[in-house]
Amino acid sequence: MSLAIEINDLYFEYEENAKTIDGISFVIEKGSYTTILGHNGSGKSTIAKLIAGLLEKKSGNIVVDGIELVEETLYEVRSHIGIVFQNPDNQFIGSTVRDDIAFGLENKCVDPNKMDEIINHFAKEVNMSEFLDHEPTKLSGGQKQRVAIAGILAMAPDIIILDEATSMLDPKGKREINELVSTIKQEKDMTVISITHDIEEAVQSDHIILLNQGKIESIGNPDKIFQNTKRIKELGLDVPFAYQVSEELCKEKLLNKTYINQEMLVNDLCQLYLKK
């Protein structure tokens, strides 16, 4: 299977000797849904910017869709990626929703006569059609992030990176965005990378890359990553609720395996209850 992203021996420092990224290597397969997980300060927040060449790496190499990231390929690489950043206000460039989605299209030299159609199409996909002429000050955080996603989808990237895109939103906003990302994942053939510290979001993904202090702690699927609950807690993260409950129930010999998915746990417990 081909690779969307390949990172080899990456090193990066914000300041001298402040080893923000201290030797990281990993790959992300095309079409997968990967979460890069870590506490604040683990280095995860710089990865998206390094991949897009917004920060200059100290050493190592980054390959996006087969293109190595160097100064000459900067814009080419960026056209393969779309990043939704954390602060909903600080990535809203246009004066209205319409203008903001158009911004990316302008950068890609799309024919102005075709822009309206594209804008209307993607605004509809993110459920913001009624708000096309609204100014950003009249929108909620969740709505602004939806517009950001529309703007990115309109540029048709292969990879979409959500850089803590929900951390500044209220629960309603978080839900809106997570549902939208789920839909995107199902309907489009895109690689989705989510950078977060939210555990319940992380368990939805196929793979997790767990970071700690600039280094990779472990890589694997959610089941594998959350086995070591003690270590997870040491790293300043939460353990998924379903795992906590099922772990205790295993100790009480009521269950024989642990779960990270709440729905599955509820279903299996109910089956046990009914058998009684």
What residues line the site for another protein (CB under 8 A)?
39-41, 49, 52, 54, 75, 78-79, 81-83, 85, 87, 89-95, 98-99, 102-112, 115, 135-137, 140, 151-152, 155, 167-168, 170-172, 197, 199-200, 236-238, 241, 244-245, 248-249, 252, 254, 262-263, 266-267, 269-270, 272-274, 276
Rg (CA), the chain: 20
Task: Output 1 or 275, the one with its CB closest to another protein.
Answer: 275
H or E, element range at 100: helix 97-107
Task: Output 68 or 248, the one with its CB closest to another protein.
Answer: 248
The count of other CB atoms within 10 Å of the CB of residue 163 is 24
Task: Output 186 or 196, the one with its CB closest to another protein.
Answer: 196
The count of other CB atoms within 10 Å of the CB of residue 161 is 25
d(CA 51, CA 163): 12
Task: Output 8 or 167, the one with its CB closest to another protein.
Answer: 167
Minimum CB–partner distance for residue 209 and another protein (Å): 16
- Is residue 12 within 8 A of residue 21, CB to CB? The reply is yes
Q: 73 is written with which tokens? A: 């390929």
Phi/psi of residue 186, nearest 5 degrees? -75, -40
Task: Output 78 or 185, the one with its CB closest to another protein.
Answer: 78
Minimum CB–partner distance for residue 57 and another protein (Å): 15
Minimum CB–partner distance for residue 1 and another protein (Å): 26
Minimum CB–partner distance for residue 183 and another protein (Å): 20
Task: Output 81 or 128, the one with its CB closest to another protein.
Answer: 81
Minimum CB–partner distance for residue 64 and another protein (Å): 12
Reduce the DSSP state of residue 71 to 3 states and report it.
Answer: helix
Minimum CB–partner distance for residue 151 and another protein (Å): 7
Residue 27's nearest CA partner among 49, 1, 46 is 1
Residue 177's nearest CA partner among 145, 140, 204 is 145
Name the pairing type of β-strands 215-220 and 207-212. antiparallel
